[in-house]
Structure 1
Amino acid sequence: MTIKAVVFDIGNVLIEWQPERYYDAVIGKDRRTRMFNEVDLHGMNDLVDTGHDFRQTIYDWAEKYPQWRDEIRMWHDHWLDLAKPAIPHSVRLLRALRAKGIPVFALTNFGIGTWQIATPVYDFLNEFDRPYVSGQMGVIKPSPRIYQMVEEDSGIAPGALLFTDDRAENIAAARARGWQGHVFDGPQGWADCLVAHGLLTQAEAA
């Protein structure tokens, strides 16, 4: 089936998302490892991505673990240091698709508050034809419902959607609904996928 829209995840596809790397640099790898073993920080972040208030969620979580209070609050207070840098080749691919008139969507696990922080800093986040942001939708990947919501809102048949995400389970959930998918392991592989689908030329995908 002809691709009618290309769908990008954001974290580790367009922007590096490596909280562990940030904490390694700030508090050291040993302390970071202990903290992540004791505190479900990614579960905390899932609440934000589902639509819970960014600051309140992080600060409430910090109060559960007073021994890590200051470090947990960093997730909120220094969030942009966790979500950086942009991945330039991926950004070029997004813009190359749009330059050819191919609709480009985002489908991302992202909080309402974090989206408000990120969009002024990363201009390309404002360039999607349709941004599907989990915090605004009230559901996160890989729930089948989030893919269904994209289909219903866009009016595009599942087989005409090509989706890239760095998490295999998110791609598997999309494929289960009939989407075409690519597990992102670097921008060059994604570029090659877009060329293989006839969406971009080699030169356009460089």
Structure 2
Amino acid sequence: MQPQAVIFDIGNVLIEWQPERFYDAEIGEDRRREMFASVDLHGMNDRVDRGEHFTETIYATAEEYPAWRDEIRMWHDRWIELATPVIDRSVRLLRALRAKGVPVFSLTNFGIQSFDYAATHYPFLLEFDRPYISGHMGVIKPDPQIYRMVEEDCGVAPEALLFTDDRPDNITAARARGWQTHLFTGPDGWADRLVAAGLLTEEDAK
């Protein structure tokens, strides 16, 4: 069936999210590997994405690991440098869908304060018809509950939703709910999928 609404993940779909790349450039790959082995930074970030306070969570973690205090605080103080650059063609696809009248939602693991901060740099994050931000929802992908909450709120049948995400586990969870899915590996493939679904023409999807 033709999708009635399209759902975008944000990290690595609309904005590159590569903390390891940032730290490799700042402190070198060897030290970065040592730090990530010593401190569960992605677990820390998951707590923020579940709704814990952005600043308080990261700064508290930094104090727990004094050997890495300054580096951990970079996750907060230089956060926008971890979440860059914009994937321009994906933003164009978002806007092309909305121009066609296709409802477009976001479904993203993102903290409350970090999302608000990101939106000051990336205003397109505020262009979705319905934003589903994990920090506000209190649950993160791939927990089935977050997909259920989207279904209940948007009122679109699961089989009429088309969702793209760069993580296979998030895609698998959505597919288990009956959603149409696309594993994002780059904007070109996503453009092709939107054209194949009859939502955009090839000209629209450039």
Q: State whether TM-score is above 0.5.
A: yes
**Which 4+ residue blocks in structure 1 deviate beyond 3 angstroms?**
none
User: The residue matched to 1:164 in structure 2 has which SS?
Assistant: strand
8 A Cα contact 2:2 2:198, kept in partner = no
Find the counterpart in structure 2 of residue 150 from structure 1: 150
Find the counterpart in structure 1 of residue 97 from structure 2: 97
- In structure 1, distance between residues paired with 2:64 and 2:171: 34
User: The residue matched to 1:106 in structure 2 has which SS?
Assistant: strand
Find the counterpart in structure 1 of residue 168 from structure 2: 168
Q: Deviations over 1:99-156 (max 9, x none)?
A: 0000000000000010110111101101000000000000000000000000000001
Task: Give 1:41's aligned amino acid.
Answer: L
- In structure 1, distance between residues paired with 2:4 and 2:61: 42
Find the counterpart in structure 2 of residue 182 from structure 1: 182
- In structure 2, distance between residues paired with 1:72 and 1:20: 12
Find the counterpart in structure 2 of residue 128 from structure 1: 128
Task: Give 2:142's aligned amino acid.
Answer: P
Whether 1:84 and 2:84 are equivalent positions in the alignment is: yes
Find the counterpart in structure 2 of residue 34 from structure 1: 34
- In structure 2, distance between residues paired with 1:186 and 1:47: 27
- In structure 1, distance between residues paired with 2:141 and 2:190: 20
Whether 1:22 and 2:22 are equivalent positions in the alignment is: yes
Find the counterpart in structure 1 of residue 191 from structure 2: 191
- In structure 2, distance between residues paired with 1:59 and 1:126: 27
User: The residue matched to 1:132 in structure 2 has which SS?
Assistant: strand
- In structure 2, distance between residues paired with 1:81 and 1:121: 11
- In structure 2, distance between residues paired with 1:116 and 1:164: 22
Identity level (%): 70
Unaligned runs of 5+ in 1: none
What is the root-mean-square deviation in Å for CA atoms of aligned residues?
0.6
- In structure 1, distance between residues paired with 2:169 and 2:180: 14
Cα displacement (A) at 1:2: 2.6
Unaligned runs of 5+ in 2: none
Q: What is the number of residues matched between the two proteins?
A: 206
TM-score normalised over the length of structure 1 = 0.99
Find the counterpart in structure 2 of residue 70 from structure 1: 70
